[in-house]
């Protein structure tokens, strides 16, 4: 059996090997991805994002336990079904790595022993290429390997969160009291990418005030403009205790239903594929173009624009001259 075939049968060791090949960017990994691509598209991709230390990993752990033990009710009247869960932790500090406190490690251990849970940590700090470009193939491999739901945890503010939201079907934004975060979140436009908003650490002082300001901020966004449109729920959790996790799982199931019912999932998939192809095509065309140019010509043109000898428009006309 080939590596790809073994991945498709759910062999964990082969999956781990494949992910290493993919992350190192070698050709075997790329070829495997091409072969796996027809088997992707089934997983529900869920981004979990927010400022550092808000409790994302703890919440991801608890949510995963819930999805394993209770499952998700995927449509009205259906029995909840335990899901196979993949976790991709991007730039993790804890508890996916050594930084974990003891309690977190113990919690992680029972997840780690579960054959239907797969956890992959990715370091991206200092890595080349955008976050979405580097995360996407890893998520695709997990998708092809048959994980029903893939949680993608990212730290950071602004651009990387927006990128992840673009790759995910559902984006959970996690906030916590006491960071002045509710104000920051509003400023950074993070609320706009949230499909589900979580105020974690609801046990801490200041939780009520944070809840009120998040609620006010959501209301500022106004009610959904059409009937049947998604209205972002605000959920309080205490991830360390698992409080609020069933409510979060329920919101996730509802959003999944909403995406499917309204055709929004297809729309998101389509715009994602278009954006990806667009970006790859630009990159390729530019590389191809530059290969056809005499050495240093492009740089010379840049210099002349900098020296105000020609305008950017004139530069393009000049570079394009002689092309079919
Ligand atoms: N009081 C309280 N502490 C919590 C809660 N959830 C998480 N914590 C603690 O907050 C700390 C950070 O939790 P993590 O889950 O590592 O947070 P994170 O957002 O994943 O952190 P980064 O990945 O570093 O951004 C840990 O010490 C957790 O035990 C909560 O609901 N209440
Ligand atoms: Mg974390």
Give the C-alpha separation, 266 to 151, whole Å: 19
For residue 50, the ligand 1 atom closest to its alpha carbon is 19
The two tokens of residue 202 are 């609801």
For residue 60, the ligand 1 atom closest to its alpha carbon is 15
pLDDT tens digits for range 88-144: 988 655 444 433 344 444 455 567 778 899 998 887 665 556 677 778 899 999 999
Residue bearing the CA closest to ligand 1, atom 17: 55
Give the containing element (helix H, strand E) for 170. strand 170-175
CA distances from 67 to 151, 165, 248, 250, 309 (A): 11, 21, 11, 10, 63
Give the C-alpha separation, 39 to 20, whole Å: 19
For residue 200, the ligand 1 atom closest to its alpha carbon is 31
Residue bearing the CA closest to ligand 1, atom 8: 55
Kindly give, in sequence order, each residue whose CB lies less than 8 Å from that of residue 79, ignoring residues fewer than 6 positions away: 71, 73
Ligand 1 test: best mutation among 57, 59, 92, 125, most atoms within 8 Å of CB? Answer: 57
Other C-beta atoms within 10 Å of 276: how many?
Answer: 15
pLDDT tens digits for range 168-193: 999 999 999 976 655 665 555 677 88
Residue bearing the CA closest to ligand 1, atom 2: 201
pLDDT value, residue 109: 57
Give the C-alpha separation, 94 to 123, whole Å: 12
Closest-CA residue to 248 (of 257, 256, 237, 259): 237
- DSSP for 202-253 reads TTSTTHHHHHHHHHHHHHHT-S-SSTT-----EEE-BTTTTBTHHHHHHHHH
pLDDT value, residue 94: 47
- CB within 6 Å of ligand 1 — which residues? 52-58, 92-95, 101, 155, 200-201, 203-204, 238-240
Q: What is the DSSP letter of 166?
A: H
Average pLDDT for residues 274-279, to the nearest whole number?
A: 88
- Between the CA of 58 and the centroid of ligand 1 the distance, in Å, is 6
Q: Which value, to the nearest 10 degrees, does the dihedral of the CA atoms of residues 286, 288, 292, 297 take?
A: 20
Confidence of residue 272 (pLDDT cuts 50, 70, 90): confident
Kindly give, in sequence order, each residue whose CB lies less than 8 Å from that of residue 198, ignoring residues fewer than 6 positions away: 50, 59, 172, 173, 174, 175, 234, 235, 236, 237, 244, 248
- Between the CA of 284 and the centroid of ligand 2 the distance, in Å, is 35
For residue 155, the ligand 1 atom closest to its alpha carbon is 25
Give the containing element (helix H, strand E) for 162. helix 159-167
Q: Could you say which ligand is closest to the alpha carbon of residue 102?
A: 1
Q: Give whichever of 66-75, 189-198, 297-306 has the largest mean pLDDT.
A: 297-306
pLDDT tens digits for range 23-60: 888 898 999 999 999 999 999 999 998 888 899 999 99
Q: What is the mean pLDDT of the chain?
A: 85
For residue 241, the ligand 1 atom closest to its alpha carbon is 31
Kindly give, in sequence order, each residue whose CB lies less than 8 Å from that of residue 91, ignoring residues fewer than 6 positions away: 122, 123, 124, 125, 154, 155, 156
- Between the CA of 59 and the centroid of ligand 1 the distance, in Å, is 8
For residues 210 and 169, the answer to whether their CB atoms sit within 8 Å is no
- Between the CA of 165 and the centroid of ligand 1 the distance, in Å, is 21
Average pLDDT for residues 276-302, to the nearest whole number?
A: 91
For residue 52, the ligand 1 atom closest to its alpha carbon is 25
Burial (0-12, 13-18, 19+ Cβ within 10 Å), 294: exposed
Chain position carrying tokens 């009291």: 177
Q: Could you say which ligand is closest to the alpha carbon of residue 55?
A: 1
- Between the CA of 93 and the centroid of ligand 2 the distance, in Å, is 6
Q: Could you say which ligand is closest to the alpha carbon of residue 56?
A: 1
């Amino acid at each position: 059996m080939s590596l790809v075939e073994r991945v498709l049968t759910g062999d964990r060791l082969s999956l781990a090997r494949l992910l290493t090949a993919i992350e190192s960017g070698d050709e075997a990994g790329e070829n495997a991805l091409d072969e796996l691509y027809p088997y992707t598209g089934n997983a529900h991709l869920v981004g979990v994002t927010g400022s550092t230390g808000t409790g994302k990993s703890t919440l991801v752990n608890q949510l995963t336990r819930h999805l394993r033990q209770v499952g998700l009710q995927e449509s009205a009247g259906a029995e909840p079904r335990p899901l196979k869960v993949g976790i991709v932790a991007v730039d993790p500090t804890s508890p996916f790595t050594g930084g974990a406190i003891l309690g977190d490690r113990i919690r992680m251990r029972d997840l780690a022993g579960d054959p239907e849970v797969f956890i992959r940590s990715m370091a991206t700090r200092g890595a080349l290429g955008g976050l979405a470009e580097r995360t996407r193939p890893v998520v695709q491999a997990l998708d092809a390997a048959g994980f029903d739901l893939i949680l993608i945890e990212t730290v950071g503010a602004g651009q990387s969160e927006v990128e992840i939201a673009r790759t995910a079907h559902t984006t959970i934004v996690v906030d916590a009291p006491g960071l002045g975060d509710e104000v920051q979140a509003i400023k950074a436009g993070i609320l706009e990418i949230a499909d589900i908003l979580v105020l974690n650490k609801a046990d801490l002082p200041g939780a009520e005030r944070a809840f009120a300001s998040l609620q006010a901020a959501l209301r500022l966004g106004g009610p959904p403009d059409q009937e049947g449109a998604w209205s972002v729920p605000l959920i309080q959790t205490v991830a360390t205790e698992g409080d609020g996790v069933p409510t979060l799982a329920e919101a996730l199931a509802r959003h999944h239903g909403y995406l499917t019912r309204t055709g929004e999932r297809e729309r998101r998939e389509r715009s994602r594929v278009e954006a990806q192809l667009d970006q790859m095509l630009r990159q390729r065309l530019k590389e191809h173009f530059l290969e056809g140019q005499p050495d240093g010509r492009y740089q010379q043109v840049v210099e002349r624009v900098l020296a105000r000898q020609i305008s950017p428009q004139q530069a393009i006309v000049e570079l394009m001259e002689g092309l079919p």
